Chain A
Amino acid sequence: MKEVWTLAEFRHGKLNPISFELLNRGKNLAQKLNTSLASVVIGYNIKKEDIDELIKRGADKVYVVDDIRLENFMVETYAKVILKLLDEYNPDIFIAAATTIGRTLMPYIAVKKQTGLTADCTVLDIEEETENLLQTRPAIGGNILATIKTPNTKPQMATVRPHSTKPSPPDKTKKGEVIYKQFDNEAFNAKTKYIKFVKDESQQINIQDAKIIVAGGRGLGKAENFKLIEELADLLGGAVGASRDVVDRGWKTYPHQIGLSGKTVSPALYIAVGISGAIQHIAGMQTSENIIAINKDPEAQIFKISNLGIVGDLHEILPLLIERIKEYKKKGAN
């Protein structure tokens, strides 16, 4: 069956909304191929509402594997279960989010299926003549875009950059088929044991899920000045990012680092403060929907990719900006 499949991410007992972004991508592809769209969800204690939500968001079918041994992500077991599904149903296209799960699981599966995989795509389309999946991704630090296809093997696989598209809106009337699968013990043999998850309390909001990110760079001058970044992020309901420079200086911990050697993000708004815009940093945030930069150097690279640039002293600008946003929010509350 020539279906388009998306991997729904079920983690810590919850469906990751990124699953709906994938369905949005998948819907577009399935329409062009005139085929059905299916979502695969694996985990433990998957709620009926979650499965229904996947249908409302565009899945014509949902394949569900619910087993206590799938409670936590382990690449060996997750790969075995998904490989069994792929072998049985042979979808044409299989996409997942470029999260830590997707970026671990998909290359492991692609090798076993002896098929191609394209990492961290920002555009997916169908080539008219061949009906091949066209996968476009940034490379060389985002300096080029490459369009790649997998012409001779199936499924054609890709991971998709989180937040590079919107979640598909729910359609309450939509109906779909739910297929529950179970597998015997052999599928759950693993040489890995999951021990525990430890939440990072310094990340109040997960950077990769954040709609707004306020990021600070060397221009802040010293670690204490990050308080301004944190305050602004907090006011806007956003997360705190950092350039490599300031992480290397110990002003902020590594989980906050954005760029080539850190995280790649694509929020609705990215505010870069005191960040000059080295190529490595830009590679990690240039697909943000809106970019505002504050920097004292009018020639800073960051302005080239910004929708709005403020040239000036951040120590003057930030406190006033914070004050004005507070005023604005107070007004709104009344």
Chain B
Amino acid sequence: MRIIVPIKQVPETSNVKMDPVTGTMIREGVENVVNPLDLYAIETAIRLKEKYGGKIIVISMGPEKAVEAIKEAIAMGCDDGILLSDKKFAGSDTFATSYVLAKAIKQTGDFDLVICGERATDGDTGQVGPGIASFLDLPLSTFTSQILSVENGKITVKRLVEEGYEEIEMMLPAVLTVVKEISDPRLPTLRGKLKAKKMEIPIWDAQKIGAEGQKIGLKGSPTRVVKIFTPKVTREGEKVIVKDEKTLHQAIDKIIDYLIEKELI
């Protein structure tokens, strides 16, 4: 199987601190990591390769430092990497990003599967995976939670939907976006790290992938950010501290009164 895994480098947000005065994210000292949800896509690809053989190509669109994310994926067990980097890509929204990734995927030759994380933890749109499928005119399974079988040029998967799961069968090649439930990502091995370190990651620009200038970057993006502001979510309502039997009962009274007042009970 030939599998393409598009990944994104994102700021590590698990230890994000907020500036108490401005209410904005403190970016200094924030590390960049592989989008945590992409790790499930990488792991899924590696398991398929272990079962069926083949090759995994990781691609990432971003600045030059995004090469670190590609190397981490290679250290986990992916075979090749391609960095999509060009000043002309800057300012791409999800439409332009899907276009660039789809063009690059085509450029890599024939493939069986494109596996994406369900969304990135920074942009949080989940639109690029489906966008790639649409540009490539391929069948798509979003929120994929399990691969049931791959045979006779078809893949059968389970998708996590609101009230349960759906099973669908798609002809290959196909695009999957995967959720956390699908796998448990492995850690990079020492041997993998050494291999990744030595590896030269090619950089493809807009010309190399044959991207039309009017479909990439800010110019190629149908959406525009009008403004960015900090939400006023500091509701910080009343706090009741339970110290003894009496305050315990007071706290319970508060909850019950609140539920009654808001007609929640």
* Complex contacts, B174 vs chain A, CB 8 Å: 191
Q: Is there an interface contact between B163 and A107, defined as CB atoms closer than 8 Å?
A: no
User: Which residue of chain B lies nearest to A208 when distances are taken between CB atoms in the complex?
Assistant: B162
Q: Distance in Å from the Cβ of A232 to the closest Cβ of chain B?
A: 10
Question: Which residues 186-233 of B have a CB within 8 angstroms of A?
Answer: 221-231, 233
Which residues of chain B in 228-259 are interfacial with respect to chain A, using CB atoms and an 8 Å cutoff?
228-231, 233-242, 247-249, 251-252, 254-256, 258-259
Give CA–CA (A328, B257) in the complex, Å.
Answer: 11
Q: Does A198 count as interface, using CB distance less than 8 angstroms?
A: yes
Name the B residues within 8 Å of A114 (CB-CB).
Answer: 95, 222
Which residue in B124, B142, B264 is a CB contact (below 8 Å) of A260?
A: B124
A203 within 8 A of B: yes
Cα A206 to Cα B165 in complex, Å, equals 12
Count of chain A residues with Cβ under 8 Å from any Cβ of B? 97
Contact A194/B166 with A148-B224, A311-B239 known, Cβ cut-off 8 Å: yes
Give Cα A72 to B230, complex, Å: 40
Mostly, the B contact residues are mixed
Residues of B within 8 A of A72 (CB): 166
Interface of A is mostly: mixed
A76 contacts partner chain B, Cβ-Cβ < 8 Å: yes
Complex: chain B residue closest to A322, CB-CB: B252
From B165, B223, B235, B238, give the contact of A149 (CB < 8 A).
B223
A149 and B258 contact, CB distance less than 8 A: no
A68 to chain B, nearest CB (A): 17
Taking the complex as formed, is A313 at the interface, i.e. its CB lies under 8 A from any CB of chain B?
A: yes
Of B156, B171, B233, B248, which is within 8 A of A316 by CB?
Answer: B248
Least CB distance, B260 to chain A, in whole angstroms:
8
Contact A317 B252 (CB under 8 A): yes
Which B residues are CB-close (under 8 A) to A119? Answer: 94, 124-127
> Contact residues of B with A, CB < 8 Å?
13-14, 16, 18, 24-25, 36-37, 93-95, 98-99, 121-131, 133-135, 138-143, 145, 156, 158-171, 174, 179-181, 221-231, 233-242, 247-249, 251-252, 254-256, 258-259, 262, 264-265
Residues of A bordering B, CB below 8 Å: 12, 72-76, 79, 99-100, 103-104, 106-112, 114-120, 127, 134, 138-153, 190-200, 203, 206, 208-209, 212, 236, 253-255, 257, 260-262, 268-269, 278-280, 283, 286, 290-292, 298, 303-313, 316-317, 320-321, 324-325, 328-329
